[in-house]
Structure 1
Amino acid sequence: MGIAEKLEDDMEDLSEINLTPFIDVILVLLIIFMVAAQTSAVSQDVNLPSSKADTLIKPKPITVTVKANGSFVVGNHIVAPSGLREALLAVHAMHDDRILLLGDQTLTYQSLMDAFDALRAAGYSQVGLVGRGAQQTK
């Protein structure tokens, strides 16, 4: 291999551009612009006008508890299964349309399905089940 051929091989290696430092710089600039844009949008000084409207207070959801004996408790009032619809309609004005269903762990699946059926018959479709957290199981 002659000197001319070796120089030619070295020139081919030098003709390729290394993109790694360029990509690193672009990523650092991207992060800087993302942080700068977020802080500039959050820290805007605005002098808000006053309003005469009442403050919106989000109503609490209605809690329905199914006890181990199958009886219902709406809020703090014990209700017969046949009177569940009327009890829910009575407390509806003070609460929103969400229902939180609390059930005793000894209940059968059928008891919970009966509770869901009663809630559906009363016109409630947004029902959430409440369970105990991991730290409360002791």
Structure 2
Amino acid sequence: MMAEINITPFVDVMLVLLIIFMVAAPLMTVGIDIEMPETAANPLPSVEEEPLTVSISADGSVAIMTTEIDRNDLIPRLQAIMTERTDDKIFLRGDGRVPYEQVAQIIGALNAAGFNNLGLVTDTGGPALDGQSE
């Protein structure tokens, strides 16, 4: 009779779960429906912390990550978040149909909250200024 516990099935199950979560993790992204403008710009380098994202939807509503907030609460919320982060990098996702004036106002709010390292998120493969797309 064997008195030892056989952990081989446990390890097999854990490895299968690890693979499932590794495949599923990239599919879990910000859940706000935004039609991103396309551009020929190169992607930004990755960062150590989870990137903080502010989104502007087509109707002009603003969200930090997936939480929709009032525009008047944007600066105080971002200042509170800034105190807990080590990186001042923030990404702005704006629907292509949002007027430039609203985007500029949000950029000003991000700057006023202390986020000076701004990345604008677009879809790649759009037209370049020379008329060629990548």
* TM-score, normalisation: structure 1: 0.51
Counterpart in the other structure of 1:89: 79
Of residues 112, 116, 132, the one that matches 1:125 is 116
- The superposition leaves residues 21-55 of structure 1 with CA deviations (integer Å, 9 ceiling, x where unpaired) of xxxxxxxxxxxxxxxxxxxxxxxxxxxxxxxxxxx
- Once the two structures are superposed, the pairs formed by residues 1-138 of structure 1 within 5 Å of their partners are 58-92=48-82, 93-94=84-85, 96-134=87-125
Q: Residues 78 and 91 of structure 1: is their aligned pair in 2 closer, same or farther, counting only changes over 3 Å?
A: same
Structure index of larger Rg: 1
* TM-score, normalisation: structure 2: 0.53
Q: What is the alpha-carbon distance in structure 1 between the residues aligned to residue 119 and residue 74 of structure 2?
A: 17
Select the structure that is richer in strand.
2
How big is the shift at 1:95?
6.2
Q: Residues 95 and 106 of structure 1: is their aligned pair in 2 closer, same or farther, counting only changes over 3 Å?
A: farther
Q: What is the alpha-carbon distance in structure 2 between the residues aligned to residue 110 and residue 95 of structure 1?
A: 30
How big is the shift at 1:87?
1.9
Q: Residues 104 and 75 of structure 1: is their aligned pair in 2 closer, same or farther, counting only changes over 3 Å?
A: same
The 8 Å contact of residues 79 and 114 in structure 2, kept in 1 or not, is answered as: no
| Uncovered stretches (5+) of structure 1, i.e. residues with no partner | 1-56
- The superposition leaves residues 70-115 of structure 1 with CA deviations (integer Å, 9 ceiling, x where unpaired) of 1111011111111011222333325621010000000111011111
Q: CA RMSD in A?
A: 2.0
| Uncovered stretches (5+) of structure 2, i.e. residues with no partner | 1-46, 127-134
Q: What is the alpha-carbon distance in structure 2 between the residues aligned to residue 109 and residue 86 of structure 1?
A: 23
Q: Residues 100 and 64 of structure 1: is their aligned pair in 2 closer, same or farther, counting only changes over 3 Å?
A: same
Q: Count residues with an aligned counterpart.
A: 79
Q: Residues 71 and 95 of structure 1: is their aligned pair in 2 closer, same or farther, counting only changes over 3 Å?
A: farther
Select the structure that is richer in helix.
1
The 8 Å contact of residues 60 and 95 in structure 1, kept in 2 or not, is answered as: no
Paired-residue identity, %: 30
